[in-house]
Structure 1
């Protein structure tokens, strides 16, 4: 009986991927992202401290650039495109402390969760891994 129970539980442990990011947002297309960040460089050094974010506007990285945020227990990366707006001249989010603001509708999105109260879609999230003490890789 124990063997049967163990065989039933094994697929449950291996069947879930905690980093399964789905983009079901009709406003934001899927562009490839593969970005390496060296936090020892001055433009990224803010990421070494918790509750700090950096906006990275590198050509070919995301839709409107990438926002990387240090949560204190790890890092998260989001696209800087407003998630509840069609792409336009005002749809690039700006940083304000621990929030990102969409200038089209002045909605604030938490960089901890990517959510904004009352909005349908969260910020588009990318995978991120810390490859060394001062290096991050953002990808999808």
Structure 2
């Protein structure tokens, strides 16, 4: 009896999946590590809460990375390529204050959350921005995947 119960429990455990993430089919998750020293002029805007910068693609990410100071020495970093298009000429987004805008269809994303702000009201699947890991140490923001 215990053997049968053990088999049933094993089958239930293996049949359930914890993988509830929906992988973005448009963006590959590449490995990189980039350090932005806030003492350098290019990255010094990140010293202020709410300020965001764009780091070009030759340094980080697929099409660059947007980084924002979200307050209390916390930083968020997102892929610079629009998550709702295969990387192309128009899919590299532009920084507009605290948002990133995709010129393909004027999709607008919050750099605080990565969410698509003007999500179309249709039956299609839309993705939020691909987020990268960040850590703050010694006056530098380290962005990595």
Query: TM-score, length-normalised on structure 1?
Result: 0.79
Contact 2:57 2:63 in 1 (8 A): no
Residue 59 (structure 1) shift: 1.7
Q: Which secondary structure state, in structure 1, belongs to the residue aligned with residue 142 of structure 2?
A: strand
Query: TM-score, length-normalised on structure 2?
Result: 0.76
Give the structure with higher Rg (CA).
2
CA–CA separation in structure 2 for the residues paired with 1:96 and 1:82: 14
Runs of at least 5 residues in structure 2 that lack an aligned partner in the other structure? 1-20, 121-125
CA–CA separation in structure 1 for the residues paired with 2:86 and 2:92: 11
Who is 2:12 aligned against? none
Runs of at least 5 residues in structure 1 that lack an aligned partner in the other structure? 1-21
Alignment RMSD, CA only? 1.5
Size of the aligned set, in residue pairs, is: 118
Contact 2:76 2:132 in 1 (8 A): yes
Who is 2:50 aligned against? 51
124, 127, 130: which is aligned to 2:130?
124
Q: Which secondary structure state, in structure 1, belongs to the residue aligned with residue 43 of structure 2?
A: helix
Residue 58 (structure 1) shift: 4.7
